[in-house]
Structure 1
Amino acid sequence: MDARAAGAGTTPGAAQALALQFERLRAAQAAEPWPEWPVREQRLRRLLQLVRDHEPAIAAAIHQDFGNRPSIETEIIEVWPSLEEIKGALRHGRGWMKPRRAGVGKWFLPARARIVPQPLGVVGIIVPWNYPLNLAVTPLAAALAAGNRAMLKLSEFTPAYGELMQRLVGEAFGADEVVVVTGGADVAVQFSALPFDHLLFTGSTPVGRKVMAAAAPNLTPVTLELGGKSPGVVTPGYPMAHAVERLLMGKLVNAGQTCIAPDYVLVHRPELEAFVQAAQQQARRMYPSGLADTDYCSIVNERQYERLLAGVAEAQERGSLGVPLFTGEQRSDARHRMAPLLLVDPPADTRVMNEEIFGPVLPVVPYDSVEQAMRYVQERPRPLALYWFDRDRARTDLAMRALPAGGMTVNDTLLHAGQEGLPFGGVGASGMGHYHGRWGFDTFSKLKPVFLQSPVNALSLFLPPYRPLARRMLHWMKRL
């Protein structure tokens, strides 16, 4: 966080400035409560142009904040998904806006009904540090497509990116359309307490609780995109090389700093050694230069780096076997770079088995039967994602029905989150609500039910004073 943003967040004037920015947006929305499609389309095109024109600068700023984030990784996990989300909204937004037909009960015919998607108003979006572009643009595109105005609070842990985006958004949008706010935790508290018409937060479960509490006095509806312990399950006999390749892809992109990264993996005990060997081989194929490989991302800051080291140390002190996946250097404290590590069979009460890891550390938990593995998942808080590797269709169908998760990918990782036609969101400890594609449009809309009465109707028969005919008809209606 830069000193200017930090100072702004600690003064009463900063809170007043936030309130003034919010009121400007609210007044503009009141003057145009239902923007027509050309207005929404034009805002989305400006957002698309912002990302396209400034992609190199955005990637460079994120690289600076992380210490090392490969530009191609930023293209894959941030730029491309952001552009796809905007283009999807441009393709379908006009259709999403249209009133939707709805049926009426047979006793109300020939009346009609409609569902009218109405903009909520001013939307707040709190953006985390791990995917600072994608997790800002994706909800913003949905909010703009739905006809809203928006305020974004960017993380203090990505200051170079935050300063850049604040300038770029200020150039692309009016202060009565979209506003970007920077600053520390104190600013985030003030931001969460604004009377938004909807607030979307992406981040950790503990902070999500605080955001929800801050929003509660205003009865602000919230969407919480949290994380948790997302498991991978490799069933007996599944091709180990493929399972490991897909699990390590999901785990090591962004050095594991991904809310839907596989957090731990359950492996059939007789195949444990094969999993470990395959993981070492795969990690060295992906990053042949080990910790020096420029395609391997750094940990974002010293705080997160020290947290990861402490979790590993505790697990190893408690008897878990640590298996390095790179040869050579395993850590660089000065550059907060950490080589990937397996922790084999860590005790259930260690930090790595109870807190979201958010780094390149993968606990491996052996199981003796698939039923035992399923119970293991069922007995723990509901995860944001579940990764099930299996060639048995019936068993996979059972896992889909029986195992709780915000989303699920079968025989791969992460990819359910990239589908425009699927809602993305958690459940229980991993969040509430969802977005992406039309699901995002609906989240940022009030799907207003409208009943259109017909000139010809029987309502007058049921008005006081109640006559015998009304009682006879009611008795008849109840029997049908």
Structure 2
Amino acid sequence: MPQLSIMHDVLSRQRAAFVAARPEALSVRRDRLKRLKAVLIENGDALCAAMSADFGNRSREMSMMSDIVAGVGMVNYSLKHLDRWARSEKRHANFPLGLLGARSELRYEPKGVIGIVSPWNFPVGLTVNPLAQALAAGNRAMIKPSEFTERTSETMAELFARYFAEDEVATILGGPEIGQEFCGLAFDHLLFTGATSIGRHVLRAAAENLVPVTLELGGKSPTILGRSADTDRAAGRIGLAKMMNAGQICLAPDYLLVPDDREKQTIAALKAQVSAMYPTMLSNDDYASVINARHRDRLQGLVADAVAKGAEAIEVNPAGEDFAAANLNKLPLTILRNVDDGMKVMQDEIFGPVLPVKTYKAIDEAIDYVNAHDHPLGLYYFGEDKAEEDRVLSRTISGGVTVNDAMFHVSMDDLPFGGVGPSGMGSYHGPEGFKTFSHARAVYRQPKLDITKLAGIRPPYGAAIRRTITQGLK
């Protein structure tokens, strides 16, 4: 196919440029990072406008914070720490080799060409963040943005072509078939952000060329409300996290676990807090649309399935607006009570403004429920009981944790971000991101002294090697 041929050609030219330029000075990396920062600062409004057009409505302020400011922050963080990250690390040489002049070190070297597949929910931020760390590590990059945010993808392609040579950063546009072919290219590393179901296909495609892969997936991130939690404060923070981007976030609270004697109080607090943030929704620019009609219908289907199987649906619609009659893809928050695992809403990642609520009698019941399901990308605990907090964190497994809020751990630049098991593989952000896109190259320097003769390792074997073996078994 012509597009496949073009992708192979771009990959070949990027790899050739990478090899020809080695070793590149850190100043070259800094220059690329500064150009990436300029893309965001000089074109932030255009990128936000494109995102809003793709969604049907998306707040400029939210897009500026979640995509533009977050991207600038990752670039600045990478610039600040680049010198230290790129420095060789001294490592210990086995006794007595170190005493005899042997030396060990670890060098973090660029891998080559990095493939980045970015999603539609934060189309700029989740492209720029991994790109910043790939460039900081000294690599070239090929990007495949989502076809669901077509205007944003086209805008990024035009901007990257303006600020970077194609053998530095290249953008490949197209639908699912192009994406599948892209993931089958012989990259030196591939990062994919998206759904777990698609992640499995990405891993298979990359396996053909033994390409190392980082998968940033999703899943059902639980939120546990402890009895010691301030209900109103927790409800405000949970509501904000659930309603941001209309819940279309891989880290959004997917379901809520509350003490059985505080369920009604918690639901009432959620309704009040969400109503205060969004007194109206249909004409409210602060509240984002669902990405398209197909996704809207899917979310409505999850609610309908749950209700048909016995759940109670509580719609948070403070202005009593008619969402069905509106020619929009906006949806209000729907809280679901009396849910169980037989409902699709408790099986699939929701990715929208639907919040199931389950109750528990003792904290171990909540912990057991979390542990009976796939390891989530995020886990959130609200409460002031330190012993209970420690019990939740020590007895569960998740990609990351935020205590007394939701999702905030991903905004900490110095913390790695990634999942575990079905919620992801590998991580970036923090120094771990630099290492993800680097090859950790071990270097050992042997002293002039003939070590093999001294240790008796060189045949014919005799008393010397037996002494070495005896020493090694101590």
TM-score by length of 2: 0.97
Instruction: Provide the rounded CA distance (Å) in 2 between the counterparts of 1:342 and 1:180.
Output: 40
Give unpaired runs (5+ residues) of structure 2: none
| Paired position in structure 1 for 2:162 | 171
Q: CA deviation at 1:309?
A: 0.8
After superposing the two structures, state which structure 1 stretch, 322-331 or 407-416, moved more. 322-331
Q: Is the 8 A contact 2:416 2:428 kept in 1?
A: yes
Which of the residues 125, 130, 133 maps onto 2:116? 125
Q: Is the 8 A contact 1:125 1:199 kept in 2?
A: yes
Q: 1:194 to 1:271 in 2, by over 3 A?
A: same
Instruction: Provide the rounded CA distance (Å) in 1 between the counterparts of 2:242 and 2:250.
Output: 10
Q: Does 2:6 correspond to 1:37?
A: no
| Paired position in structure 2 for 1:331 | 323
| Paired position in structure 2 for 1:477 | 471
Instruction: Provide the rounded CA distance (Å) in 2 between the counterparts of 1:171 and 1:315.
Output: 49
| Paired position in structure 2 for 1:7 | none
Structure 2 residue matching 1:125: 3-state secondary structure = strand
Structure 1 residue matching 2:208: 3-state secondary structure = helix
Q: Is the 8 A contact 2:222 2:379 kept in 1?
A: yes
**CA-to-aligned-CA distance 1:240-271 (integer Å, 9 cap, x gap):** 00111111111110000000000001011100
Structure 2 residue matching 1:297: 3-state secondary structure = coil
Q: Does 2:12 correspond to 1:19?
A: no
Instruction: Provide the rounded CA distance (Å) in 2 between the counterparts of 1:174 and 1:430.
Output: 34
Runs of 4+ in 1 over 6 A off after TM superposition: none
Structure 2 residue matching 1:358: 3-state secondary structure = coil
Q: Is the 8 A contact 1:330 1:338 kept in 2?
A: no
| Paired position in structure 2 for 1:28 | 17
Q: 1:308 to 1:479 in 2, by over 3 A?
A: closer
| Paired position in structure 2 for 1:9 | none
How many residues are matched? Answer: 469
**CA-to-aligned-CA distance 1:327-353 (integer Å, 9 cap, x gap):** 212525521110111011212121110
| Paired position in structure 1 for 2:376 | 383
Instruction: Provide the rounded CA distance (Å) in 2 between the counterparts of 1:325 and 1:76.
Output: 26
Q: Structure 1: which amino acid aligns with 2:200?
A: R
Instruction: Provide the rounded CA distance (Å) in 1 between the counterparts of 2:14 and 2:461.
Output: 54
Q: Does 2:208 correspond to 1:214?
A: no
Q: CA deviation at 1:399?
A: 1.5
Give unpaired runs (5+ residues) of structure 1: 1-11
Structure 2 residue matching 1:54: 3-state secondary structure = helix
Q: Is the 8 A contact 2:114 2:189 kept in 1?
A: yes
Q: 1:456 to 1:179 in 2, by over 3 A?
A: same
Q: CA deviation at 1:477?
A: 1.2
Instruction: Provide the rounded CA distance (Å) in 2 between the counterparts of 1:33 and 1:444.
Output: 16
Q: Is the 8 A contact 2:193 2:215 kept in 1?
A: yes
Q: Is the 8 A contact 2:238 2:406 kept in 1?
A: yes
Q: Does 2:231 correspond to 1:237?
A: no
Structure 1 residue matching 2:279: 3-state secondary structure = coil
Structure 1 residue matching 2:7: 3-state secondary structure = helix
Q: CA RMSD in A?
A: 1.2
Q: 1:392 to 1:430 in 2, by over 3 A?
A: same
**CA-to-aligned-CA distance 1:189-235 (integer Å, 9 cap, x gap):** 11000000000000000000000011111000000000000000001
Q: Structure 2: which amino acid aligns with 1:416?
A: H
| Paired position in structure 1 for 2:441 | 448
Instruction: Provide the rounded CA distance (Å) in 2 between the counterparts of 1:29 and 1:428.
Output: 33
Which of the residues 346, 361, 373 maps onto 2:354? 361
Instruction: Provide the rounded CA distance (Å) in 2 between the counterparts of 1:394 and 1:108.
Output: 47
Q: Percent identity?
A: 38
Q: Is the 8 A contact 1:108 1:457 kept in 2?
A: no
| Paired position in structure 1 for 2:386 | 393
Instruction: Provide the rounded CA distance (Å) in 1 between the counterparts of 2:469 and 2:359.
Output: 63
Mapping 1:206-285, distance limit 5 Å? 206-285=197-276
Q: Is the 8 A contact 2:228 2:385 kept in 1?
A: no
| Paired position in structure 2 for 1:412 | 405
Which of the residues 449, 462, 468 maps onto 2:462? 468
Instruction: Provide the rounded CA distance (Å) in 1 between the counterparts of 2:387 and 2:228.
Output: 15
Q: CA deviation at 1:465?
A: 2.2
Instruction: Provide the rounded CA distance (Å) in 2 between the counterparts of 1:155 and 1:478.
Output: 56
**CA-to-aligned-CA distance 1:335-376 (integer Å, 9 cap, x gap):** 111011101121212111010000010001111111101100
Q: Is the 8 A contact 2:110 2:438 kept in 1?
A: yes
| Paired position in structure 2 for 1:94 | 83
| Paired position in structure 1 for 2:126 | 135
Q: CA deviation at 1:316?
A: 0.9
Which of the residues 188, 192, 205 maps onto 1:197? 188
